[in-house]
Amino acid sequence: MSKRLEGKAALVLGVAPGNIGEAIARRYVEHGARVLVSGRRPDAMSAVADALGVPWRVCDITSQAEVEDLVAQSEKRLGRLDIGVNATGWGLLKPFLEHSQEDLDRMNAVQFTGPFQYFQALLRHMPEGGSIIQVSSVTASIMFDDHAAYMGTKAGIDHVIRCIAHEFGQHGIRANSIAPGGVADAPMSGGGLMHPAVAALYHREIPLRRSGIAAEVADAALWLASDESSFVTGQVIHVSGGQTLRRNPSLAEVYAAASDAPQAS
């Protein structure tokens, strides 16, 4: 197998066992990159790092001090930084009128302010250019019920990625987002998609007629990190089987399918 990232160094933030961040880190290691993984929980970080044979550091993306220290120490440990990935997120589901100030503050910290400050730190430690990758969501483009704060912050940070591409392209920085649809083997969406009736609802709305898997998102992240995408920046790459051409099922449809209740035609 050709090593598409040989000689490159990557920091992947938002890693936990079985999630998209882990899949991306694994793909980078397979293709020759020096990788450091990071996330909030020491036990999770230790398990992933041991499995991949890479160093790790704990970091809460809502702490600017921790984010800045993570990036600085990662550059020191790896010798340089060529690739920076943000795979953090908080999948809050709550009706619009029930969102509290606490909900909004936390969501903003996890999915807007925290990533913004992470990207600032990456840019300060990428003097020779590099690839910045944000893991977004198909719901930043198409509707889903009771998901406004999540969707709005994902869409907002996608636009920040465009701003980075616009402002820092002259310095050799490429910045892009990846927008997965439902990922059958990832913790955030995999639970529901393991239910055959719920999966069938989604497959109806996906032209390729199946759910995605984390390895397919990792393949897109590999391409964006490699020199093969050297003229690609400021884009949102959808890895959703074409779902943006259609829709998400409603929550009422999902709950009915999950309970095996009959659905209206």
Active site residues: 150
Taking the C-alpha atoms of residue 219 and residue 209, their distance in angstroms, rounded to an integer, is: 19
- E strand segments, 110-194: 130-135, 173-180
Residue 120: partners with Cβ closer than 8 Å, 6 or more residues away: none
CB-CB neighbours of 96 under 10 Å: 10
The tokens of 87 are what?
């795979």
Length of the chain: 265
Measured on CA atoms in the order 169, 25, 186, 211, is the torsion positive or negative? positive
**Distance separating alpha carbons of residues 7 and 240, to the nearest angstrom:** 30
List helix spans (H) across 169-226.
187-193, 196-204, 214-225
DSSP code string of 79-110: SS-SEEEE---------GGG--HHHHHHHHII
Single-letter amino acid, residue 38: S
CA distance 25 to 52: 8
